[in-house]
Amino acid sequence: MTSQQPNPPPTPEPNNDSVLPGLRILDSVTDAFFALDREWRFTYLNSHAERLLMRTREDLLGQSIWDEFPDAVGSAFEYAYRRAMNQQEIVQFEAYYDPKDNWFEVRGFPSEDSLTVCFREIGDRKRAEQDRLRVDEELRDAHERTIDILESIGDAFYTLDSQFRLTYVNRRSAELWERTREELIGQRIQDVFPQWEGSISHGHHIAAMTERTPRHYETFSLVLNKWLEVNIYPAADGLSVYYRDIHSRKMADDALRASEERFRRVADTIPHIVWTAQPDGALDYVNQRWLDYTGLNARETYGWAWRRVIHPDELPRVAAIYAEAIADGENYEDEFRMRRLDGVYRTFLVRGAAIKGEAGETVKWVGTCTDVTERRIEADRQAAIFEREHTIATQLQEALQPPIPRAMPGLSLAKYYEPALPESGVGGDFMDCFAVRPGVTAIVVGDVSGKGLAAAAQVATVRNMLRYAMHNEHALADSVARLNDTIAANLLLSGFCTLFVGCYDADTRTFTYVNAGQESALLRRAATGEIEQLASTGSVIGAFTPVEYDSVTLTLTPGDALAIFTDGLTECGPTRETMLGVDGVSALLRDPPAPNSDASIAEVLAMRLIDGVDAIAQDGLVRDDVCLIIAVAE
């Protein structure tokens, strides 16, 4: 014997005969209707509802609206339906339903046990409204792009704290609300305007407050009984709300003409020429500034007649650039000369912005012409000054930068110098190599802060004073200390200088160095391939006085290679986070140099380092001057 579970009671089949009396006749009206019970299940829908919902009665009757239409959950539809059922009040609203890609006008009629919903498509009407708004909206956007603002409209605004209490109300807002500020400040907005609570605007305020994101929307205000455009911005302690009355623009066919007239009035007050053109580039408006400057009237300007004021030498180029911008639909910018009414030509910066339609097509051009004659003259003067200074600095640096020999007693040498910007040619990095006394060679690499003529002159100061000190002081550390004290005490540098100075004695095969704030030099040992860092032994030159410097002495064996360089070598790389660094230079130096009959070991190592820098820099992104000396013990 098997036990049997009792069957559950059958779910009653929905029956249109059991719904509210009179619903049958709803099939004969043009609006769509459906009815829901307290559990949000469909109890009736007419044929028009079937068509708009694209579902049959057999599919929906008895089913939950939220299960069958999950995209409605959390939408304005759910919000309104629940409000109607919970508060037993009729709701009426317009909302967009994304799955149907359409707008709907909806009315909800609640009873104790059900909600009857009447709805209709209003997509065509909404699109027509949006079409009327589009040109005005696009024109305003273009105005803002060309001269920040061409039209000033006094917005109403108010601020709320976190409890939705009004903390500030401007005059315009108080006028629209027909309340005094004393009546408003400190009050919760929903207490002052009970009809605001539960509205679409209320929902946007809550979202902006909780999500801390700006909100922009248009809504019909139940408080003012008119359409508003609203912008909500979260603030540190609440919300700032700006709104404007757009009721007339929504309702009136002449809104575009009024907006264009306002544009013309504002355009005539600004200190620039303002113009608009048709999609093909033909001019159809200029402000009063154009008429005053050229002496032409509108008939002598519109279409393509405006070209007559362009300097003949520039007209072909100007026409070609303008035609290309019109064809591409891209924003336009050019600079050329235009004739004033007295025959004088002045230089103008001309900009144009393409206003786009919904399909991406150009529907209008809006632009400005700004007189830049004085700015251009000043720019040319500054360029001439820069070129003259640059030439002097280049010649000075070339004169003061001694040639680096390929060999000194006991050493073979190679050098490399490249400014960060090839067009500058002048930098603060420098190198030097000279005999201190018979058999002793000084090698110097330094970096004076700054660029141009001033840096070149200061390089000469450091180089010559260092030579003097080294020829007159026996100890290298004392020479560097005297150089620093003299420069710092007498403020001979506008900034400071990093400096690496080394002396190689060919008889004892010793290398003594002082590193004054320079990048660590590197010593590659030929016998093991190990890399030693010759780190800083004292402060930068010219910053403080007195400063004591330590010297370090190393013994070199044949093939040992010194790499002395400025920070331009280590700071190369595609980003600040992925620069080469001293460790990267060490890796490039570590492998033994390949034999080359055409180059010395020093030259082979120098080429390897520079090739590695170029590869890591990626497309030449070198941030500072590169100065490098390679010295190999023989």
Kindly state whether residues 416 and 516 are assigned to the same domain: yes
Among 254, 290, 244, residue whose Cα is nearest residue 270: 290
d(CA 580, CA 611): 13
Both 103 and 158 in one domain: the answer is no
Nearest C-alpha neighbor of 627 from the set 459, 410, 457: 459
Alpha-carbon distances of 329 from 247, 464, 498, 621, rounded to whole Å: 33, 61, 53, 33
Q: Do 25 and 116 lie in a common domain?
A: yes
32/10 Cα distance (integer angstroms): 30
Convert the pLDDT of each residue in 523-557 to its tens digit. 999 999 999 999 999 999 998 889 999 999 999 99
The pLDDT score that the predictor gives to residue 11 is 40
235 - beta bridge partners?
Answer: 238
Q: Distance between CA atoms of 525 and 528, rounded to whole angstroms?
A: 6
For the chain, what is the mean pLDDT? 85
Give the pLDDT confidence score for residue 269 in this predicted structure: 73
Parallel, antiparallel or unpaired: strands 114-121 and 226-235 = unpaired
Give CA–CA dist 93/104, Å, rounded.
Answer: 8
Task: Report the distance separating Cα 85 and Cα 46, nearest Å.
Answer: 21
pLDDT digits (tens, 9 = 90+) for 311-335: 999 999 999 999 999 999 989 999 9
Residue 210, CA distances (Å) to 73, 192, 200, 215 in order: 19, 22, 16, 12
Residue 540 lies in a domain: yes
First to last CA, the chain: 108
Q: Do 109 and 229 share a structural domain?
A: no
Tell me the percentage of the chain whose pLDDT exceeds 70: 85
Point out which residues pair with 593 in neighbouring strands.
Answer: none
Same domain, 169 and 51: no
Domain boundary among 251, 278, 305: 251
Provide the sign of the torsion angle of the four alpha carbons 35, 41, 46, 52, taken in this order: positive
Is 33 within a domain? Answer: yes
Pairing of strands 114-121, 510-516: unpaired
For residues 561 and 425, state if they share a domain: yes
Strand 440-448 versus strand 102-110 pairing type: unpaired
pLDDT of 622 reads 56
Same domain for 103 and 216, yes or no, is no
Pairwise CA distance, residues 21 & 24, whole Å: 8
Is the residue at 117 inside a domain? yes
- Which among 223, 251, 279 is the end of a domain? 251
Helix (H) or strand (E) holding 53: helix 47-53
Instruction: Work out the angle between the directed axes of helices 255-267 and 123-147 (0-180°, nearest 10).
Output: 0
Closest CA to 589 of 578, 597, 581: 581
Position 401 scores a pLDDT of 62
Q: Is the pLDDT of residue 90 over 70?
A: yes
Q: What pLDDT is attached to residue 29?
A: 62
CA distance 399 to 402: 7
Residue 264 belongs to some domain of the structure: no
| Co-location of 80 and 168 in the same domain | no
State whether 441 and 585 are in the same domain.
yes
Model pLDDT, residue 258: 61
Q: How confident is the model at residue 290 (pLDDT cuts 50, 70, 90)?
A: very high
Q: What is the pLDDT of residue 321?
A: 94
Here the CATH number for the domain that contains residue 424 is 3.60.40.10
277: closest CA among 289, 286, 268? 286
- Same-domain status, 428 and 482: yes
What pLDDT sits at residue 141? 64
| Pairing relationship of beta strands 497-505 and 440-448 according to DSSP bridges | antiparallel
Answer yes or no: is 145 within a domain: no
Q: What is the CA radius of gyration of the chain?
A: 40
Residue 133 confidence (pLDDT): 83
Average pLDDT of the segment spanning 428-443: 91
Q: What integer pLDDT is reported at residue 114 of this predicted model?
A: 94
The string of DSSP codes covering 119-154 is EEE-HHHHHHHHHHHHHHHHHHHHHHHHHS-S----
205 lies in a domain? yes
Q: Is the pLDDT at 51 greater than 50, yes or no?
A: yes
Domain count, the chain: 3
Q: What is the pLDDT of residue 398?
A: 58
What CATH number has the domain bearing residue 189?
A: 3.30.450.20
Antiparallel, parallel or unpaired: β 238-245 and 156-161: antiparallel
CA distance 387 to 390: 5
115 and 188 share a domain? no
pLDDT for the residue numbered 365: 93
Q: Which residue has the tokens 């380092």?
A: 609
Q: Which residue has the tokens 């575009």?
A: 256
Can you tell me whether residue 457 is helix, strand or coil? Answer: helix
Asked whether residue 322 is assigned to any structural domain, the reply reads no
Q: What is the pLDDT of residue 140?
A: 65
pLDDT number for residue 104: 92
User: Higher confidence at residue 594 or residue 498?
Assistant: 498
Q: How far apart are CA 11 and CA 581, in angstroms?
A: 77
Residue 394 lies in a domain: no
Both 465 and 540 in one domain: the answer is yes
Report whether the peptide linkage leading into residue 214 is cis, meaning its omega lies within 30 degrees of zero.
no
Helix (H, G, I), strand (E, B) or coil at 443: strand
**Which of 443, 399, 387 has the alpha carbon at shortest distance from 561?**
443
Contacts of 48 (CB under 8 A, 6+ apart): 27, 29, 30, 31, 32, 33
Give the helix/strand (H/E) hosting 220: strand 215-221
Distance CA 139, CA 435 (A): 75
Residue 568: per-residue pLDDT: 82
Spatial CA neighbour of 445 closest among 625, 628, 630: 628
Q: Write out pLDDT tens, residues 167-226.
A: 999 988 888 899 999 999 999 999 999 999 888 999 999 999 999 999 999 999 888 888
Helical packing angle, 452-472 and 476-490, nearest 10°: 140
Looking at the predicted structure, is the pLDDT value of residue 6 above 80? no
Domain that includes residue 65, residue range:
16-121
